[in-house]
Amino acid sequence: MAGRPSHPSKEIEAAVAFAEEQGWSWVKVSGHAWAKLLCPHHDRDGCALFVWSTPRNPENHAKQLRRQIARCPHRPAGENDENL
Amino acid sequence: MKTFEFRVIASGLDPDAEDFADRFFQAGCDDATISFQRGRIVLDFDRSARSIGEAIASAMESVRKAGATVERIEPDPLVSLSDIAARTGLTRAAMTQYSKRQRGKNFPPPIARVTSDSPLWDWAIVAKWLYANNKLSREAAIEAEAVRLANTAVTSRDSQFRESLESSVQAYARSLEAA
């Protein structure tokens, strides 16, 4: 977690910090994406999530990021609340 | 203008390629969050448009402009009773009673995996029934039909898709009034 820059949007920065709490890692990328987040399942089946530097609407982007993180199927067993 | 939430599932671009995210950004997908999950490109859209039909059709155009192939639109039109409960806020028990016709009148039959232990319903058909029984909003019923139509169009390669989706959704909205 050390050594990465903060996202200029407060909401997006909070969503990225939330991802890190869930075991996701931060990877720098070039271009319009600010970063790529990789889920705890670090191989070809793992999830990758792109964070924009300047999304059309930062609040919506932060909400979408949280939704995508919640949808990751690679959370530790027992935390998956789908199909009850 | 209203903001509509839906997902486009796509394929055909390498998520490890240098220009992967930029392609989508430049094609106008900066109102979507892009991920790569289960081998598929997933775009979570919050798109402002005059109607759900326009929102979905324009998002599909953006994704294709980026060079990707549209595979599917979600929330998926095929649903289990649990999915229906989750989408409506009704209880799982109530859904089971509707499906067994112990409650309500003429709940629609499933359309897929009919002979299995876990049959699936067409969300648009169920949504129409729920609307008629005051369990779902008119907007939600129209969105269900729009997503169903969009998924049908994904495979048909209709070049007039935007217009035809828009007019089909409008016709559907009118038919709901008559129902």
CATH code for position B168: 3.30.70
Q: Is residue B98 domain-shared with residue B128, that is, in the same domain?
A: yes
- Total domains in the fold of chain B: 2
Pair (B57, B95) in one structural domain: no
The answer to whether residues B65 and B153 belong to one domain is: yes
Q: What is the pLDDT of residue A84?
A: 40
What's the whole-number mean pLDDT along residues B148-161? Answer: 81
Residue A62 has pLDDT above 90, yes or no: yes
Q: How confident is the model at residue A43 (pLDDT cuts 50, 70, 90)?
A: confident
Percent of chain B at pLDDT > 70 equals 98
The answer to whether residues B28 and B64 belong to one domain is yes
Specify whether B122 is located in the same domain as B151: no
What percentage of chain B has pLDDT greater than the value 90?
A: 81
Do residues B92 and B34 share a domain? no
* Pairwise pLDDT comparison (B7 vs B158), residue with the higher score: B7
Higher pLDDT, A19 or B164: A19
SS3 (DSSP) at B97? helix
Q: Is the pLDDT of residue B157 over 70?
A: no
Residues B129 and B89 in one domain: yes
Q: B126 pLDDT band (50/70/90 cuts)?
A: very high
- On whether any CB of chain B is under 8 Å from the CB of A30, the answer is yes
Query: Smallest CA–CA separation between B177 and chain A, in Å?
Result: 33
Do the strands B69-74 and B121-122 form a parallel or antiparallel pair, or are they unpaired?
Answer: unpaired
Residue of B nearest to A63 (CA): B33
Q: Please give the model's pTM, rounded to 2 decimal places.
A: 0.88
Q: Are residues B45 and B10 in the same domain?
A: yes
Among partner residues B22, B35, B80, which is closest to A49 by beta-carbon distance?
B35
Q: Which residues of B touch A55 (CB under 8 A)?
A: 30-31, 33
> Which of A24, A56, A63, A65 is the best mutation test for B, with the most CBs of B within 10 A?
A56
CA distance A52 to B151: 28
Domain span at residue B12 reads 2-74+139-178
Res. B179 pLDDT band, cuts 50 70 90: low
pLDDT at B66: 97
More confident residue, B164 or B79: B79
- Alpha-helical (H) ranges within chain B are 20-26, 52-65, 81-88, 92-99, 123-132, 138-156, 161-178
* CB proximity list for B150: less than 8 A, separation 6 or greater: B56, B57, B60, B73, B165
The interface predicted TM-score of the complex, written ipTM, equals 0.84
pLDDT tens sequence across A14-35:
999 999 999 999 999 988 899 9
Tell whether B45 and B98 lie within a shared domain. Answer: no
| pLDDT one-digit tens code per residue, B45-71 | 999 999 999 999 999 999 999 999 999
B69 and B149 in a single domain? The answer is yes
